[in-house]
Structure 1
Amino acid sequence: MLPDNKIYLASKSPRRRELLAQVGIEFELLLLRDAPPRGPDVSEIVLPGELPLTYVSRVTKEKAEMAWKVMHMRKLPVRPVLAADTTVVFRDQILGKPANLEEAIRMLTMLAGQTHQVLTSLAVQHQHGQVSMTQYSEVTFSSLTEKQILAYCSTQEPYDKAGGYGIQGAAARFISHINGSYSGIMGLPLFETCQALRQSGIFIP
């Protein structure tokens, strides 16, 4: 077990912070650049022909590796680094975060009355290597009217979330069924995360 039993979280997601706190995992933020002037530390651009599973796994591993390097560059105490990335997939198409109202409406219209997939990858970089895994869930939306979609997309909720919705927010009223991990759909599958952290030297009862 590590002396202080803490990790670094390489994510800006408030949902991931809430989920780690829910299961009593102590962490400090270790944030990567995601904007100009020098550009992001890890590009989230999908490579030509890249499948969703390959994409989300690759980006997550790269984030964990980069955060580990940043930890050493900043001469921080050495601790395991946790990174994660969530991808919403509909008919093999990756749905990222909508950039504007039109994109949000298009995504919600696409998902309405359909079942889509949510892939959340996590990677823990530690002194002896890296542990990584991807959790797969299915989410089924009820049919939605144009009025419902417009009302939801007029809020701030869709715009910082893959697929344009958050299961833990107002969009919960649209979701008729899930098959998989609720926390994974939120952005961090807790069962798999605890498994990976135990392997990296963190004590979790």
Structure 2
Amino acid sequence: MSSPLLYLASASPRRKELLTQLGYAFDVLRVDVAEVRQANENAEQYVQRLSQDKAKAGVAAAEDLRPVIGSDTIVVVDGAILEKPKSYQDSQRMLRMLSGRNHQVMTAVSIADGAHLLSTLVTTDVWFRDLSESDIESYWQSGEPQDKAGSYGIQGLGGKFVSRIEGSYFAVVGLPLYETDQLIKEFSALS
């Protein structure tokens, strides 16, 4: 692994795996950031603020001055933000909204230390095939959608619902590789 040594402010195993794939040495910090949309905050502003809040919370929790990466992913369809489902009924509602049409997956990545904060936002268009009620029910029973924005994971069983994407596959998973690598390099140049 190469420098710089970082922190990842995320409990997501997918983000941990993707950051490892980039070849950076890092430790994981668990941070607790309320994921509540503020009044008059559009989807882009919301996901960027959450990634920044997670990076800043990581800086506050860190034992040393290493930079902290925070990230957040949301699903947007017709301007509605779909986060993690609260119940089976909520998952049904989301998956019915996504069925047979396209939506956007927005992933924001931020990196911060005590002096600097940089962010990037990646939006990917995703198309779903038509889903039957049986598709939705059996997918919920798999347990996979229960902790995923938009109630699906493209890297798992939910991938069978996706007919095509335009943009970054890795951003849909939760951490865009190219953009994260560029952000880390830009941040390193600030030091």
Q: Is the 8 A contact 1:126 1:200 kept in 2?
A: no
Q: What residue is the counterpart of 1:21 in the other structure?
A: 20
Which one of the candidate residues 26, 44, 57 is aligned to 1:53?
Answer: 44
Equivalents in 1 of 2:60, 2:22: separation in Å?
27
Report the counterpart of residue 36 of structure 1 in structure 2: none
Query: How many residue pairs align between the two structures?
Result: 188
Shift of the alpha carbon at 1:26? 1.4
Partner of 1:66: 57
Alpha-carbon separation, structure 2, partners of 1:121 and 1:27: 19
1:88-147 residue CA offsets vs partner (Å, 9 max, x unmatched): 001000001001111111111110101000000000003541110100100000011111
Name the residue aligned to 1:102: 89
8 Å CA contact 2:43, 2:76 repeated in 1: yes
TM norm structure 2: 0.94
CA distance in 2, matches of 1:84, 1:64: 8
Secondary structure in structure 2 of the residue aligned to 1:54: helix
Deviations 1:10-53 (A, max 9, x none): 001100011011121211011113xxxxxxxx221111232100
CA distance in 1, matches of 2:80, 2:136: 20
TM-score for both structures, normalised by structure 1:
0.88
What code does the residue aligned with 2:39 have? P
> 1:131 aligned to 118, 121, 124, which one?
118
C-alpha separation in 2, matches of 1:29 and 1:77: 13
Matched residue SS, 1:134: strand
Correspondence for 1:156 among 143, 156, 160: 143
Map 1:3-18 to 2 at 5 A: 5-18=4-17
Structure 2 gaps, min length 5? none
Runs of 4+ residues over 2 Å off in structure 1: none
Q: Which runs of 5+ in 1 are unaligned?
A: 34-41
Amino acid at match of 2:81: I
Which residue, 154, 159, 172 being the options, matches 1:167? 154
Give a deviation string over 1:63-92, Cα, whole Å, max 9, x none. 111211222xxxx23211000000100100
Corresponding residue SS for 2:126: strand
